[in-house]
């Protein structure tokens, strides 16, 4: 009886460990996706603000190009 309970505990412990690893991999993949998404948004926002600066600069001084 004791051996059966100990074996069930061992199997439950292994199952919990594998579930933890799955959640850890899922969190890692989601984190990488969030970082990639934020980098993409940052680049797009920078380009839009650069275009806006050029448009405003074109109104103020049409001969100057505001390039970084």
CA distance 18 to 12: 10
Quote the CA–CA distance of 8 and 20 in Å, as a whole number.
Answer: 18
pLDDT tier at 55 (50, 70, 90 boundaries)?
confident
Among the residue ranges 2-6, 10-14, 19-23, 44-48, the one predicted with the least confidence is: 2-6
Contact between 64 and 57 (Cβ < 8 Å): yes
Q: What is the pLDDT of residue 59?
A: 86
pLDDT tens for each residue of 24-36? 999 999 999 999 9
Over range 40-66, report the average pLDDT: 86
Q: Which long-range contacts (CB under 8 A, 24 or more apart) does 22-25 make?
A: none
- pTM for the predicted model, two decimal places: 0.61
Q: Residue with structure tokens 């275009």?
A: 51
pLDDT of residue 17: 76
């Amino acid at each position: 009886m004791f051996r059966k309970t100990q074996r069930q505990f061992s199997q439950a412990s292994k199952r919990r460990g594998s579930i933890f690893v799955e959640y850890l991999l899922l969190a890692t993949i989601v984190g990488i996706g969030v970082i990639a998404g934020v980098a993409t948004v940052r680049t797009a926002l920078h380009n839009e603000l650069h275009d806006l600066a050029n448009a405003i600069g074109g109104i103020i001084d049409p001969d100057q190009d505001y390039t970084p």
